[in-house]
């Protein structure tokens, strides 16, 4: 799943370094919106702006963990 | 009177009133005036002074201090690449400007290439008075500005705020939605400005918290790009007592007309009646032309370019429009190749020129593509030399080192050839 999410996000945000551990700091409003929209559409999960926290968007691993949590809770 | 003269006046009238809030700090009118006075003493006079736009109190201090020093403020994009920033700053500093000039705002706007638009002190005050009369800015209002303050959409709202002695709350974008909603926590009356992408984000991911603002939001303005009718209807439903404005404005014309679509009719494409300092007319070709006190003085250092847009006190736009029987302006489309990305106008040629400098690119075309957030995004179609690998991220980084961030395409595709017309020009219509 991690590589699938990486591919999905890198395709839409080519300037963002998804290997960074400070991912949230690299993102702008549009980047955050794009991530929420792509993940909710692709995985059929409900994401809200309150999910866009520095902790959830800290790194690719934390994004994957958030998706897994949402899938489990679905 | 200049904007900074109103600041001085309000520092005496309302010394303790909060003028500006940002990042947990707040600053009274008396304190803001003191900081502006101090900084102005360090600045040269009669010069165009460029500076990077920060979304902080410091931005407002620097901006107003430049005016007080009788110089001209040129706020540039925060993320402008360093080389370009130095080049533009040096060019601006060497440019002579008239005594009445207040700002030089960089825009792609109506002509399709980046240039500095000169705004006079008088135009700035006329814009502010248009907003006060047209949208109901008041002394009691807190305006939440989260958009870039070098862009007329957000910058223009600081003008009525200062004139009226109201409060400005500056945020750095909408990335931190919590900070955005926190800005409305104190009891009071509020207003804000969105580009359509902001509204789509809040409607899609934070509609509950957005709806909870219904009782404190006096008005919401949207501009920069057309808001979809579905989003307009959704907003009317969510904020039933809030005035919701679509506005016709540009850096070249100033703030011209505005329409509260929360009027029970919610007319799509309607931009309302001209405000007190403005007149709108439709040319025989069906294009919008504007007159009045809010117009730009011209493009900095480019009389020929100015003459192509501004003549006889009229700015001729590339937008097609009509005026209905109620005197309300409606926009029907745009003539030139400029692509509107989340409220920013981008000339595709500028992107293509930068892409052609990338090793291995033999041809390319920058087009508009549908985007679920921004409505419109930039897409670059690239033809590579045979046997040269196409590295999308490397190309994106190459462009980011040369262009402002909003001009860097999000979408890329390697193609065998790009469409050209019979005389060899890029055929943009092929991709519409």
What digits encode the pLDDT tens for the residues B41-54? 999 999 999 999 99
Q: What pLDDT digit, counting tens, does each position of B196-214 carry?
A: 888 888 888 889 999 999 9
> What's A60's domain CATH number?
1.10.1200.10
> Same structural domain for residues B312 and B343?
no
> Same structural domain for residues B263 and B384?
no
Q: What pLDDT digit, counting tens, does each position of B402-424 carry?
A: 888 888 998 899 999 988 877 66
User: What chain A residue is nearest to B147 in terms of C-alpha separation?
Assistant: A29
User: A12: domain range?
Assistant: 2-73
Q: What pLDDT digit, counting tens, does each position of A29-72 carry?
A: 888 888 988 899 899 998 888 888 888 999 999 999 999 999 99
- Mean pLDDT computed over B25-38: 98
Last residue of a domain, one of B301, B334, B367: B334
- Of B342, B392, B397, which is closest to A30 when you measure between CB atoms? B342
B294 near B253, Cβ under 8 Å?
yes
Whether A46 contacts chain B with CB within 8 A: no
> Same structural domain for residues B256 and B360?
no
Query: How large is the angle between the packed helices A2-12 and A60-73, nearest 10 degrees?
Result: 110
- Between strands B115-120 and B298-299, the pairing is antiparallel
Q: How many CB atoms lie within 10 A of CB B178?
A: 13
Instruction: Flag the least confident range among B66-70, B104-108, B166-170, B220-224.
Output: B104-108
Question: Cβ contact (<8 Å) for B205 and A36?
Answer: yes
User: B141: domain range?
Assistant: 3-334
B159 near B3, Cβ under 8 Å?
yes
- Of B175, B206, B397, which is closest to A27 when you measure between CB atoms? B175
Q: What is the predicted pLDDT for the residue at B108?
A: 61
> Same structural domain for residues B283 and B420?
no
Cα distance from A42 to chain B (closest Cα, Å)? 13
Residue B277 has pLDDT above 70, yes or no: yes
| Unique residue bearing structure tokens 């005197």 | B327
- Mean pLDDT computed over B141-169: 96
pTM reported for the whole predicted model: 0.85
Q: How many CB atoms lie within 10 A of CB B311?
A: 11
> Distance from CA of residue B229 to its chain's centroid?
21
Whether A8 contacts chain B with CB within 8 A: no
Q: What is the predicted pLDDT for the residue at B109?
A: 54
pLDDT over 90 percentage in chain B: 65
> Same structural domain for residues B210 and B149?
yes
Last residue of a domain, one of B298, B314, B334: B334
Q: What pLDDT digit, counting tens, does each position of B7-31 carry?
A: 999 999 999 999 999 998 999 999 9
How many domains are contained in chain A?
1
- B272 dihedral zone (left: phi>0; alpha: psi -120 to 50; beta): left
- Mean pLDDT computed over B221-229: 83
- Spell out which residues of chain B touch residue A13, defining contact as CB-CB under 8 Å: 410
Q: What is the ipTM of this complex?
A: 0.74
Work out the mean pLDDT of chain B and round it to a whole number: 91
Pairwise CA distance, residues B146 & B151, whole Å: 11
User: What chain A residue is nearest to B400 in terms of C-alpha separation?
Assistant: A15
Last residue of a domain, one of B304, B334, B364: B334
Pairwise CA distance, residues B92 & B155, whole Å: 20
Token pair of B44, please?
């040269």
How many domains are contained in chain B?
2
> Same structural domain for residues B317 and B391?
no
pLDDT tier at B110 (50, 70, 90 boundaries)? low
> Same structural domain for residues B328 and B418?
no
- Mean pLDDT computed over B254-276: 95
> Same structural domain for residues B190 and B219?
yes
| Unique residue bearing structure tokens 């958030």 | A66
More confidently predicted of B109 and B254: B254
**Contact residues, A window 21-40, toward B, CB-based 8 Å cutoff:** 27-34, 36-37
| Unique residue bearing structure tokens 């994401």 | A47
Q: Is the dihedral of CA B107, B108, B113, B118 positive or negative?
A: negative
> What's B180's domain CATH number?
3.40.50.12780
Residue B112 has pLDDT above 80, yes or no: no
Q: What pLDDT digit, counting tens, does each position of B248-260 carry?
A: 999 999 999 999 9
Token pair of B414, please?
């390697």
Q: What is the predicted pLDDT for the residue at B336?
A: 67
Q: What is the predicted pLDDT for the residue at B339?
A: 85
- Spell out which residues of chain A touch residue B397, defining contact as CB-CB under 8 Å: 15
Pairwise CA distance, residues A37 & A13, whole Å: 12
Cα distance from B409 to chain A (closest Cα, Å)? 9
Cα distance from A18 to chain B (closest Cα, Å)? 12
> Same structural domain for residues B111 and B227?
yes
- Spell out which residues of chain B touch residue A36, defining contact as CB-CB under 8 Å: 204-205
> What's B367's domain CATH number?
3.30.300.30
> Same structural domain for residues B267 and B247?
yes
């Amino acid at each position: 799943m991690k590589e699938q999410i990486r591919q999905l996000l890198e395709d839409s945000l080519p300037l963002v370094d998804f290997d960074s551990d400070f991912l949230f700091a690299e993102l702008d409003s549009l980047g955050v919106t794009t991530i929420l929209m792509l993940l909710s559409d692709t995985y059929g999960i409900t994401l809200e702006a309150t999910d866009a926290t520095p902790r959830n968007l800290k790194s690719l691993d934390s994004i994957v963990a958030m998706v897994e949590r949402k899938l489990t809770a679905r | 009177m200049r904007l900074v003269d109103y600041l001085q006046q309000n520092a005496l009238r309302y010394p303790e009133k909060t003028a500006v809030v940002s990042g947990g700090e707040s600053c009274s009118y008396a304190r803001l005036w003191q900081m502006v006075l101090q900084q102005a003493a360090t600045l040269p006079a009669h010069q165009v002074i460029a500076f990077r736009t920060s979304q902080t109190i410091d931005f407002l201090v620097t901006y107003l201090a430049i005016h007080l020093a009788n110089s001209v403020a040129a706020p540039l994009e925060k993320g402008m690449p360093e080389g370009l920033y130095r080049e533009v700053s040096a060019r601006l500093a060497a440019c002579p400007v008239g005594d009445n000039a207040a700002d030089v705002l960089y825009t792609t706007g109506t002509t399709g290439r980046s240039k500095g638009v000169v705004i006079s002190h008088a135009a700035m005050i006329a814009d502010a008075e248009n907003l006060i009369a047209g949208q109901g800015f008041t002394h009691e209002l807190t305006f939440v500005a989260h958009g870039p303050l070098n862009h007329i959409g957000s910058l223009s709202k600081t003008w009525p705020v200062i004139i009226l002695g109201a409060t400005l709350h500056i945020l750095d974008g909408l990335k931190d939605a919590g900070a955005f909603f926190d800005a409305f926590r104190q009891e009071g009356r509020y207003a804000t400005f969105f580009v359509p992408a902001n509204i789509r984000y809040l409607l899609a991911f934070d509609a509950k918290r957005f709806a909870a603002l219904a009782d404190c939001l006096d008005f919401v303005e949207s501009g920069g790009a057309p808001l979809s009718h579905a989003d307009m209807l959704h907003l009317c439903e969510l904020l039933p007592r809030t005035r919701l404005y679509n506005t016709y404005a540009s850096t070249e014309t100033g703030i011209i007309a505005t329409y509260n679509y929360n009027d029970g009719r919610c007319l799509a494409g309607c931009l309302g009646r001209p405000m007190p300092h403005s007149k709108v007319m439709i040319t025989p070709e069906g294009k919008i032309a504007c007159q009045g006190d809010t117009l730009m003085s011209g493009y900095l250092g480019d009389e020929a370019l100015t003459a192509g847009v501004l003549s006889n006190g009229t700015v001729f736009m590339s937008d097609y429009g009509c005026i209905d029987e109620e005197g309300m302006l409606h926009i029907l489309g745009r003539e030139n190749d400029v692509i509107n990305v989340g409220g920013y106008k981008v000339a595709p040629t500028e992107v293509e020129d930068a892409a052609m400098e990338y090793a291995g690119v033999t041809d390319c075309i920058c087009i508009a593509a549908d985007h679920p957030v921004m409505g419109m995004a930039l897409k670059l179609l690239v033809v590579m030399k045979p046997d040269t690998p196409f590295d999308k991220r490397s190309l994106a980084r190459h462009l980011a080192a040369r262009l402002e961030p909003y001009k860097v395409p999000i979408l890329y595709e390697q193609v065998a050839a790009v469409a050209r017309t019979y005389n060899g020009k890029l055929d943009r219509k092929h991709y519409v």
